[in-house]
Amino acid sequence: MTQTPTATSNDDILINKTVDFLKVNEGFEPVARPPVGIKGGKPTYGYGFEFKQDNQTRVENGETITEEEADQLLRYKVNELHQTFSDRYEEYRNLPASVKAGVLSFGFNAGMNVFEDKRNQQYLRPALDSGDAERLKKAMGLFVYGPDGKDPILHLRRMRELQMMNDPNFLITNEN
């Protein structure tokens, strides 16, 4: 695995909590297969990985990944998202950690370039650029539609992200 940048302590908490959130919400699958209930869905494995670490090589149906490998890849991808969003978006850097975690989960789910997609320039990108966490939460909450209309799984995902984003104690850990 490629080395990931060393994070500050708050960044460490942000990354750790986002990784934990994604593990619970994505679930672990050791064998690549198309996702159930998504027409035309590409094979995924691990924690919903459609691509390998290089973000170019697609996972092939039947390929396998161990939980340890998937944990390392998930941490790498969350760090990569955080670094990319930090580099691209000044207002992301200024968001509370809990909101950043929701944005990271959203980016993991919708793709690293979700804020760059021209279809998202009317609501989503301006909400991020505004630096207004409430506006951003509302804009992200609109992303609950799949190929067949409103998707209850995506709706639940957005609700869980919103719950995390609204957590005033997000940076508090149980470790002593």
Residue 175 pLDDT:
54
- pLDDT score of 30: 98
What residues have CB less than 8 Å from 167, skipping those under 6 apart? Answer: 98
The domains located in the chain, with CATH, are 9-25+66-165 (1.10.530.40)
> What pLDDT does 174 receive?
64
Instruction: Pull the structure tokens for residue 53.
Output: 């670490």
| The predicted structure's pLDDT at residue 114 | 95
Q: What pLDDT sits at residue 36?
A: 79
Residues 6+ apart with CB under 8 A from 112: 55, 80, 81, 84
Residues of the chain where predicted confidence (pLDDT) is lower than 50: 1, 5-7, 176
The pLDDT score that the predictor gives to residue 59 is 96
pLDDT at 8: 58
Prediction pTM value: 0.90
